[in-house]
Amino acid sequence: MDSTLSFNAEARPQPSDEDLEFEIHKHDFPKDFIFGTAVSAFQVEGAKKGSGRGFTRWDEFTHMFPDKVEHGDDADMGVDFYTRYKIFNLMDQNLPSEDFREFAKFCFENFGDRVKNWATFNEPSVYSVAGYSKGKKAPGRCSPFEVLKCPSGDSSEEPYKVTHNQILSHLAAVEEFRKCVKCQENGGKIGIVFLRPLTYGHYPTVMQKDVNVRLPEFTKEESEKLKKSLDFVGLNYYGAFFTTPLTNINASELSYTNDVGAKLSAEQNHSPHLKTTSMGIVIYPAGLMNLLRHIQDEYKNPEIYIMENGMDEIDNGTKTVAEATNDYGRKEFIKSHILIMGKAIRLHNVRLKGYYIWSLMDNFEWERGYKMRFGLYYVDYDDNLKRHMRSSGKWLSEFLDSKESLHKCYFEDHREKGYAPKLFDTEYLDPNNWRLSYASDI
């Protein structure tokens, strides 16, 4: 679902941020603004054997450690996108075995005349932290005190080394991209989600101080090159967490998590109107405005693409098709974030260029398996993977072809009510987040 919007420069009064009646229309977005959806190759492809698709670290992870994925799921099936549609993707969490520079160069040379915007790594911190500090994602490494199931790893150093290598790999890819003639002729741009190193050429000062000798350093040459390696910022935004200071840290248990010095939680007692999703993410559209303005002010006002934004739900296949496609909460989630984006553009001139919803359809959600669903399309895993458009997808397609106005955030509207909104007719919480509770609309 991809739409380039036309711009109508109709003059309107500019209300304040706090004005809940602030109206946003489709034509308030720049004419080259992109509305789209996102998918990840590994999560939808399937077709592991005999299809020509290569073996990835996540294939190894799911088959070697099935107990680390809910229900022992793997992505051998996905949603069978590879055999039905054939797609390609540059990088999500799977590092290719070949040198990344050559891998990127190959992609640029073969697709540079057709693909305009490139992101070298998606969610790089998820790979380095969840994969090498917490052990939750492939390759499942961490120190023994983090997770007992980790066979090996060092949570105090490995996440920083992996992140450093990702940044240098990005830099290598950028060098090849700048030399790619067809990429430049096509007006191509390249970006990633690391900000401080790629804007200022070094890690944050507080990070250098706290992590100290465990944090790799950039050479002077690398630092200067990094400052020129970012054409746009790719941002994934799903929601927020509550934080409290992390106290009584064991000095012998050094890790990325402890270095942060804060405990992240969805549990709270002071904001009863805020809803938490099944995965334990606090739905907070207003936080997107704060983040966009922070990036604008702190990182030299770059172009920004929201690469992922979506809302999860648990469904183990117990819902009927009618129940599964009636996702009015997800529809309101998308509407609220589009409203916030429009306000950021009109009121603060944030250079927002695109918005991609996660996800086009239900898929394999990493260690959560197939029970966690994000799609604008419901996938019936019990009926030959049939796709059914949800009400959220129907609304979005109609919004892009209509003059509908958005003027109130559904979630902030519950602040005065003092309780959280209902998202689905049948709601499930992840057993890992059983302590989360709230009163909702009946």
Residues belonging to the active site: 123, 308
What do you get for the CA distance between the two ends of the chain, in Å? 33
Whole-angstrom Cα distance, residue 96 to residue 120?
12
Q: Which long-range contacts (CB under 8 A, 24 or more apart) does 260-265 make?
A: 261/210, 265/241
Whole-angstrom Cα distance, residue 61 to residue 150?
12
Q: CA quadruple 106, 108, 110, 111: dihedral positive or negative?
A: positive
Tell me which residue of 256, 348, 339, 334 sits closest to 294, measured CA to CA. Answer: 348
Q: Within 10 A of 93 (CB to CB), how many other CB atoms are there?
A: 23
Whole-angstrom Cα distance, residue 409 to residue 46?
38
Residue 372, strand partner residues: 314
From the centroid of its chain, how far is CA 414? 26
**Residue 442 Cα distances to 11, 119, 193, 335, 422, angstroms:** 41, 43, 40, 21, 7
Written as one string, the DSSP assignment of 288-352 is HHHHHHHHHHHTTS--EEEEE----EE-SS-S-HHHHH--HHHHHHHHHHHHHHHHHHHHH---E
Beta strand 386-389 pairing with 3-4: unpaired
Contact 94, 62 (CB under 8 A): no
